[in-house]
Amino acid sequence: MKSWIFSTESDGAASSAALEAMTKVRSFGGEVAAVHVGEGSESALAMLGAHGAGRVLLVPGGTPAGVIAAAMAAAVESEQPDMIFFGMGNVDRDVAGRLSARLGKPVLANAVDVTVDGDSIHVVNEILGGTTRVVTAFADGAPALVITRPKAFAAEPGGDTSPEVTAVELPDVGHAGDVELLSQHTEASAGPDLEAADIVVSGGRGLGDATKFEMMNELAGLLGGAVGATRAVVDAGWVPYSYQVGQTGKTVKPNVYIACGISGAMQHLVGMKDSTTIIAVNKDPEAPIFGIADLGIVGDVHNVVPALIAALKNRG
Amino acid sequence: MKIVVCVKQIPDPASPYELDPNTHFVVRPNDQVLDDTDRYGVEVALQLADEIGDDASVTLLSMSPGGSQQGIRQALAMGADGAILVEDPALRGADALTTARVLAAAAQRAGADLLIAGTESTDGYTGVVPQQVAELMEAPSLTFARKVEYVDGKIRIERQTEAGYDVVAGSLPAVLSVTSGLVEPRYPTFKGIMQAKSKPVEILTAADLGVAPTVNQTIVAVESVPARQAGDVIEDDGEGHLRILEKLEEVKVV
């Protein structure tokens, strides 16, 4: 089995989705290579090596997706990988989609598991808010293109640490590559890293307006947790996209997830349903979030949360 | 500028989805609704067309195995000039790649300068169709836009990133995918709803577009996942916060 893993670099690190997928494909045996987009810093390359990449195909950061896809298609032709794994990041999805169309091969998205039995590769998805698992096979030959959900696999080191690095040749794709990166901007979010936090306090529409979101920061601060939000709240512009938990945002699996004023749309549930303990406060007793909560309080977040904050402060 | 907007009719998300036990496809009732996230693409298209003036038109593009056109009429009522509906029973259960082939062929046939789509549908959420279409059209892909402008003959966007956003520009023809929340979609007016009834809807088959639907992936099993056990749900009697505190103590986080 020959597997390729797509990775993008940020702050000197390889993408966590890549390290997770690499850990998974090590169990299939065979050759593992990373297609890494970014500067190729020593630390990022070391991470890829430590997770099993024997080789790294390096693509400069900011390369248009059309160019990356064309370069990868050429390399697929000469090297014939069996599988190519992508994460859910925007660059991942751009390249996966374009490569799929270029090769005429399907890409199976939202994978929570992948199994290999002889020549057949099966991808497992969870649909309908995680209540149903669907197993899909590729009808056509290699390479199997897969987009995995974050945290579908745990990342564990276990490989050689100095991969061989090759710069990928970038073809001219004409008009399809006519995308220019003009500037990059960072919108920092305060507090601990949402994806790694042990406690997550998340707010939804039920908070009423953006000013009430401050309660989430205060509660998270007292508990030493991170702050998350629903897509509705991000769409409304209360907090930046980096706060979003759900299908199109981050996937979190903290020890404790406290959902405040969140009804529990499927979109949101898929991003947090695997938290160890879920506590929900919502005024609608029919809210779907109560179906998965370990403790549900049917009540007004504007009463319950301030009372909780006061009680936590009293404990000192 | 010919702007084409992809819109999808989906089963009403308010009612639970079902899978056909034989085909494993999502059961699609005759009356489907407009995917709410597509309203953002339609709004962006209408705003760009207003800005550009008389030389711009907005055409909707949708693919469907059949059924009513209720969802398309909803989008037409917002103000689009017309629609192309690729309606073919052979497209029932079409996967993302087949869908992209149909959309790309229809967009090219229509002479699209700009093809706009949401980032993913609410029912399928594969999230790669706009990029597949761009590759098939040999066009740049400007994706995950949270702001869109037309500057010096190019489309310039703020592209959402993990850390914040990038400003990216691409030349036409191009494919643009937009996130929800970047504009406030207009509500159809009564006049809009009445006009939508007589707007042209061109109906095409996959064969008209020269696309032969292929089976690229097959579902081999469907299993239900053991449901997570719901715990205690209690009415707040003024002491709900104390129950939360007890729970936090129980799991040793305070």
d(CA B203, CA B187): 26
* Contact criterion met (CB < 8 Å) for A235 and B164: no
| Mean pLDDT over the full length of chain A | 94
**What share of residues in chain A are helix, strand, coil (percent, to 5)?**
30, 30, 40
Note the pLDDT of residue B17.
Answer: 76
Q: Locate B23 and state its tokens.
A: 């085909």
ipTM: 0.93
Note the pLDDT of residue B227.
Answer: 77
Beta strands in chain B (DSSP E): 2-6, 9-10, 33-34, 57-64, 82-87, 114-118, 141-151, 154-160, 164-171, 174-178, 201-204, 217-224, 232-235
User: Which residues of A are less than 8 Å from B244 in CB distance?
Assistant: 258, 279, 281, 295, 297, 304, 308
* Contact criterion met (CB < 8 Å) for A182 and B227: no
Asked if A292 is an interface residue toward chain B (Cβ–Cβ < 8 A), one would say yes
For chain B, positions 12-71, list CB contacts with chain A under 8 A. 16-17, 19, 24
Q: Which amino acid is at A271?
A: G
Note the pLDDT of residue A190.
Answer: 67
Asked if B135 is an interface residue toward chain A (Cβ–Cβ < 8 A), one would say yes
For chain B, positions 180-219, list CB contacts with chain A under 8 A. 180-181, 215-219
Cα Rg, chain B, nearest whole Å: 21
Number of residue pairs across A and B with CB atoms under 8 Å?
276
Reported as a single tens digit per residue, the pLDDT across A153-191 is 999 998 777 899 999 999 999 999 999 999 999 987 667
Reported as a single tens digit per residue, the pLDDT across A64-83 is 999 999 999 999 999 999 99
Note the pLDDT of residue A316.
Answer: 67
Alpha-carbon distance B195 to nearest alpha carbon in chain A (angstroms): 30
- For residue A10, what are the β-bridge partners? A13
**Which residue of B131, B160, B247 to mutate against A (max A Cβ within 10 Å)?**
B131
Taking residues A137-149, what's their average pLDDT? Answer: 93
Cα Rg, chain A, nearest whole Å: 21
Note the pLDDT of residue B12.
Answer: 85
Taking residues A269-280, what's their average pLDDT? Answer: 95
CB atoms within 10 A of CB A7: 32
User: Which residues of A are less than 8 Å from B99 in CB distance?
Assistant: none
d(CA B19, CA B26): 4
Note the pLDDT of residue B122.
Answer: 83
CA angle A152, A156, A161 (to 5 degrees): 130
Note the pLDDT of residue B163.
Answer: 85
**Closest chain A residue by Cα to residue B236:** A299
Reported as a single tens digit per residue, the pLDDT across B159-190 is 999 889 999 999 999 999 999 889 999 999 99
**Contact between B218 and B93 (Cβ < 8 Å):** no
Low-confidence ranges of chain B (pLDDT < 50): none
Report residue A129: phi and psi, to 5°: 65, 25
pTM of the entire predicted model:
0.92
Taking residues A215-220, what's their average pLDDT? Answer: 96
